[in-house]
Amino acid sequence: MRNIQTHWNRLTRAAASASLLVALFGAPALADEPTAEVTSEGSEASAAPSKLSASVTAATSIGIGTFVEGPQKRELIVGSLSPRVAYKLADTVSLSGGIGVTWYALESAGVGYEPNRVLLGSASATLSDGSIWADKERGLNLSGSFTLVAPTSLSDQLTNKLFSMTPSLALRWKSGDFSLSGNTSFSKVFNRTNQATLDCSSFSDPEECRQGRLLSDSLTSESVDGEVVLTGTGLTSFAVVYGLSAGYSPMDGLNLGLGLSMSHAWGVMNLPEDSLASVNAKTGRSQSDALTSSLSVSYQALKQLSVGLSLATSTSRPLGAQGDDLVIFDFTRASDNITSIGLSVTGSM
């Protein structure tokens, strides 16, 4: 149980970090692959491609602290399974939906779950347009999407989330085997309360749900009308994410990528300045930031199967603990597991 802004940073890192995927997939024919049929005259005609498609991704992200010895060793292995279904509405427009399952294989202080904990993720539905505007002569293409997220995960329930919505845009320039993309998104979160709460009636032992329990360095609990309120800076109200990425495709099916993105999340509550506030304290909405840098390589092994490998660093302290550093592709803070290595496999039909 942690502040939702910490949770936002974890989500941003998980989205940018590549995952180690360890599932076996069959090799069914693609649903939209034309199939031959024999007409009454004996000639072959191509069947219309299906508008419905599906994919399944199994993933495991391994924190860099897993590979070191000594005081900095802190194992972190997180797996996931993410099925998704899409329906093509027009040439470049599609509607898709999915829900994931996350498996916390090894205990880590940064995660807070016991080993082998399996949790349901948030369900989402996305309307996307792969080409809102394009200039083929200059190699430019503008795409966009609108996503709605339903509160099916444990963290959604803890934060009393009703739903969230995220519009996003991406502009891509491609020249030969090289490409450069810029993207931005805005997320608005709607919650039932301003603070995360926990219903004490679900606990068999009242001592496990009590006031004054220290949950983190800055988060304690307060009992109010049969619920425990997790006091702190409150829940996230909205967030902005923006980034740049570069790609290179030296051969058919092989893609190399380099990315850098930044996110900012603002809380629901406004924090006033009082007599106990530090001289360095800032009034107004609470804010948390995250910087993510990533390297990736992917290969389309088959039409129905792709694999990928990546390295990513994501931190809520972009300038380091003292504000005098730029934390990208960092290996010096192994115990924080802000850097992860991943391998991915995705099967589609």
Q: Across all residues in the chain, what is the average pLDDT?
A: 81
Phi-psi region of 20 (alpha: psi -120 to 50; beta: other; left: phi over 0): beta
Highest average pLDDT, of 62-66, 134-138, 264-268, comes from 134-138
| Token code pair at residue 167 | 């519009």
When computed from its CA atoms, the radius of gyration of the chain, rounded to whole angstroms, is: 23
| Token code pair at residue 210 | 């009590």
Give residue 325's pLDDT band: very low, low, confident or very high (50, 70, 90).
Answer: confident
Give residue 2's pLDDT band: very low, low, confident or very high (50, 70, 90).
Answer: very low
DSSP 132-179: EEEETTTTEEEEEEEEEEE--SHHHHHTTEEEEEEEEEEEEEEETTEE
pLDDT of residue 239: 97
Which of 322, 318, 190, 334 minimizes the C-alpha distance to 263?
A: 318
**What H or E segment, with its residue span, contains residue 109?**
none
Which of 156, 18, 122 minimizes the C-alpha distance to 78?
A: 18
Q: How many CB atoms lie within 10 A of CB 236?
A: 27
b/e sequence 268-292, b meaning 16+ C-beta within 10 Å: bbeeeeeeeeeeeeeeebbebbbbb
- CA atoms of 16 and 34, how far apart (whole Å): 34
pLDDT surpassing 90 at residue 101: yes
What is the rounded average pLDDT of the residues 88-92?
96
96-110, 122-136, 191-205, 312-326: segment of lowest average pLDDT? 191-205
pLDDT of residue 231: 64
> Considering the entire predicted model, what is its pTM?
0.78
Domains of the chain, earliest start first: 4-195+232-348 (2.40.160.40)
pLDDT of residue 116: 84
pLDDT surpassing 90 at residue 111: no
**Spatial CB neighbours of 55, under 8 Å, sequence gap ≥ 6:** 83, 84, 86, 346, 347, 348, 349
Helix (H, G, I), strand (E, B) or coil at 15: helix
pLDDT of residue 157: 84
- CA atoms of 62 and 79, how far apart (whole Å): 9
pLDDT surpassing 60 at residue 8: no
Dihedral pair phi/psi, residue 252, rounded to 5°: -60, 125
Q: What is the pLDDT of residues 141-196, one digit of tens each?
A: 999 999 999 999 988 888 889 999 999 999 999 999 999 999 999 999 999 888 87
pLDDT surpassing 90 at residue 92: yes
pLDDT of residue 169: 98
Which of 308, 314, 307 minimizes the C-alpha distance to 296?
A: 308
